[in-house]
Amino acid sequence: MSLFTVRPSLTKTRPPNDGHTGAMLRDALEALGIVHHVDKPWRTLSSEYLVCSVPGRARVRIHCAADPSARTSEGRLFADHYDLPVATLWYVGAVVTDDKSTRLVFHGFGDGRNPTASAGMQAGQCAAAVAGHFGLTAPEPEYTCLHCTRVIEWIEADGQGAWYDSSNWIGCVDGESLHVPEPLCGWCEDYGLIEVLDDSTDALKGHATCDNAPCVARRIMRRDQAERERQAAQAQAAAHECTGALCCPPF
């Protein structure tokens, strides 16, 4: 079967452990609540795009460009596609065409020294750039209990907090166990860091920043949101006019 068989949706995208970009992009987009589907907009094209959309806005099309030196087992060049093997990835690109122009929303280049990490990083950055283009903010993460799989939330009470069932504020089904949130990121268990071990002794050498696509996307969105809030507060402070000696600190 050809690598680029037409797929009507992301349901046939290769699984994450298969080392392809489609699953990384899907997970990063879903982590930010971006609606997307697979589309082949023109029959003359040999590849499919990942199309992102919000009501009333021009669609953003994502594709992955293959390294010009990469070859299939038959010796053919890899065609650009949204679901490339990460080892062949050159860069991830996102383009929008509206009544103003056709322009890039995101454009990244791969790092040949570590193609898998580069693919995950680019997928997260691309998803964050698309979310920024659409003016979306990162949705509140939804946690499920590791024991009973119910949706749970952290409730503060009298200076202390606990995880409760979102529907009726009860414990796990046995009535005794406490809810425990399942990590959102299976790579770093939501710590944001991955342990780096020695190949021969398994000794801990240090830590590396997690570059799982959803983790990267959430990190970038939080950073950008904090920067927007900082700029808004700065602009508000600059526009403020004091009305008296006790208007603004220090008094």
Kindly state the tokens that stand for 126. 């691309």
Between strands 89-97 and 102-107, the pairing is antiparallel
Condensed to tens digits (0 to 9), the pLDDT of residues 180-226 reads 888 888 888 888 888 888 878 878 888 888 888 888 888 888 888 88
CB 119 within 8 A of CB 89: yes
Q: Maximum CA pair distance of the chain? A: 79
Bridge partners of 62, per DSSP, are 50, 94
Confidence at residue 17, expressed as pLDDT on a 0 to 100 scale: 47
pLDDT in tens, 110-168: 655 555 557 888 898 899 999 989 988 877 888 888 888 888 888 877 667 888 887 77
Residue 117: what pLDDT?
Answer: 59
Q: Are 104 and 94 in contact (CB under 8 A)?
A: yes
Report DSSP letters for 166-217, one per residue: TTT----TTSSSPP-BPPS-TTTTTSSEEEEE-TTT--EEEEEE---HHHHH
The better pLDDT of the pair 96, 155 is held by 96
